[in-house]
């Protein structure tokens, strides 16, 4: 017959150790997340983000979502080509593109509670829900 311990049967140190073991998969690894920089090329009347696919993968966001964000913020049409580059109609500087990317990351990737970048973004109707995989916090905001 196995005896199950009740919470008051544990010492403080045992409880603390159990908590650390259970949270081990959720704690940060100490790595510093750096927002990727867009490699921007302006050709004629087009702006091309050459590393767009890589950025979407690093941020763990769908290409379509990131594309729609840029198109909405810049108020221009755009498309992703076969090479995974985002082509936007209009001329935009690398500084402007990277500032938008930074704003996207702060709002739609970074957890407002713990600051982790290990998050999932889900769309429910007209609302986005950002769920942190590190602390479990959920943040909601209007979809774009």
Q: Does 135 map to a domain?
A: yes
Same domain for 120 and 93: no
pTM of the model as a whole: 0.74
**94-109 pLDDT per residue, tens:** 999 999 999 999 999 9
Domain-embedded: residue 18: no
Count up the domains in the chain and report the number: 2
| Residues 88 and 119 both lie in one domain | no
**How would you classify the pairing of strands 119-124 and 86-89?**
unpaired
Per-residue model confidence as pLDDT tens digits over 43-87 = 999 999 999 999 999 999 999 999 999 999 999 999 999 999 999
Crossing angle of helices 94-108 and 52-59, in 10° steps, is 20
CA pair distance 65, 144, nearest whole angstrom: 9
The verdict on 38 and 105 lying in the same domain is: yes
Report phi then psi at 122, rounded to 5: -125, 145
Phi, psi of 116 (to 5 degrees): -75, 150
Task: Tell me, yes or no, whether 93 and 60 share the same domain.
Answer: yes
Q: Which range marks the domain in which residue 86 is found?
A: 34-109
Is residue 115 domain-shared with residue 92, that is, in the same domain? no
The CA distance from 28 to 91, in Å, is 39
| Lookup: tokens for 85 | 């580059």
**Cβ-defined contacts of 61-64 (< 8 Å, 24+):** 61/108, 61/109, 61/121
Same domain for 81 and 40? Answer: yes
């Amino acid at each position: 017959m196995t005896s199950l311990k009740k919470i008051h049967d544990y010492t403080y140190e045992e409880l603390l150790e159990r908590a650390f073991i259970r949270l081990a998969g959720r704690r940060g690894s100490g790595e510093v997340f750096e927002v990727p920089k867009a490699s921007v090329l302006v050709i004629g009347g087009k702006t091309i983000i050459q590393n767009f696919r890589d950025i979407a993968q690093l941020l763990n966001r769908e290409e379509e979502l990131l594309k729609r964000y840029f198109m909405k913020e810049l108020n221009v049409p755009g498309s992703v080509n076969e090479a995974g580059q985002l082509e936007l109609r209009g001329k935009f500087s690398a500084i402007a593109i990277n500032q938008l990317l930074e704003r996207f990351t702060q709002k739609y990737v970074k957890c407002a509670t713990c600051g982790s970048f290990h998050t999932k973004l889900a769309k429910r109707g007209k609302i986005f829900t950002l769920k942190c995989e590190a602390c479990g916090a959920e943040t909601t905001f209007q979809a774009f």
